[in-house]
A and B are shown apart, each in its own frame.
Chain A
Amino acid sequence: MVTITEGAVVALLAGGVFFGLVAAVGLLRLPDLYTRTHAASKTDTLGAGLTLAAVAVVYDAGLPTVKAGLLLVFLLITNPTAAHAIARAAADQGIEPWTAEDGGDEQ
């Protein structure tokens, strides 16, 4: 039968895959840079984070778990900052956010 560890790994991986999928759909469907950064950064952080957490659980205890944990921490620090930097640079360059008046032909 499925042990607790296996169940936790499968659940974490399923969560990671789900958020990766949401990020991909968001990138394809959303209209402009800001909304796409919004979709990609949030779901990417969670998706990669949950996947790394699954990796950390697989290697019960030891160096690989520590490495995965460190990766997780740095991902959580840098990924939102990168999204912030991209959105900020776009705003600095004068890119206008998409609004409802811009039309539905973007669909």
Chain B
Amino acid sequence: MSNGNDENGDENLGERLYVESPIIMATVRVVAPFVLTFGLFIMFHGADSSGGGFQGGVIVSTVVLMVAIAFGIEPTRDWVDPTTIVAVMGIGVSVFLLIGMGSVALGGRFLEYHAYPVYHASKYGIELVELAIGVIVASVVVGLFFAIAAGVSHGDDAEPAESEGLL
């Protein structure tokens, strides 16, 4: 199976003759950690001022998109394989639901942070929920990006099973 994929990749390279740009790769290397930090900052900022999980999640997902555009989409897809993306999505949703239902279990309403016996419960609760939302948004955006990119690079047969059958 890996052989088949490699042959496919070589064919594509032969057609397009695209060589990665060292300038773009260097810039992405420099900027990526700062973008990730900024995304996390926006996520946590949502607890007490403008910002939040949705904006922060999109910024965090930009890191993976930048890496994919600079170093090639297929190597990046191998690096973060789609199973991981779906798993991260699931973890985000479960964390959100756990925080929400936890307050119900402690005798409050859904997402009623005061039910938790913690100092400043609503602040930390909102921050955790924002983080969970950010994780969901980031993984969904990355997944959509890879789904769209698959249609471009493989033509009609985006299914791995089909390309295997062709070879």
Contact = CB atoms under 8 A, between A and B. Distances in A.
A12 B16 CA distance: 45
B24 interface: yes
B18 A77 contact: no
Main secondary structure of the interface of B (DSSP, over half): helix
Interface residues of B, number: 10
Given A81-B24, A84-B23, A74 B31 contact: yes
B30 A77 contact: yes
A92 interface: yes
B34 A74 contact: yes
A88 B16 CA distance: 13
Given A92-B16, A92-B18, A84 B24 contact: yes
Interface string A89-101: 0001000000000
Interface residues of A, number: 8
A78 interface: yes
Interface string B140-166: 000000000000000000000000000
A85 interface: yes
A39 B16 CA distance: 28
B16 A77 contact: no
Interface string A66-87: 0000000010011001001100
Nearest to B24: A85
Nearest to A85: B24
B16 A81 contact: no
Contacts of A84: 21, 23-24
Contact of A78 (B16, B18, B21, B31): B31
A81 B23 contact: yes
A92 B13 CA distance: 12
A16 B61 CA distance: 31
Contacts of B69: 85
Contacts of B34: 74
20 contacts: A74-B31, A74-B34, A77-B27, A77-B30, A77-B31, A78-B27, A78-B31, A81-B23, A81-B24, A81-B27, A84-B21, A84-B23, A84-B24, A85-B21, A85-B24, A85-B69, A88-B21, A88-B24, A92-B16, A92-B18
The 7 closest A-B pairs by CB, nearest first: A81-B27, A85-B24, A84-B23, A92-B18, A88-B21, A81-B24, A77-B27
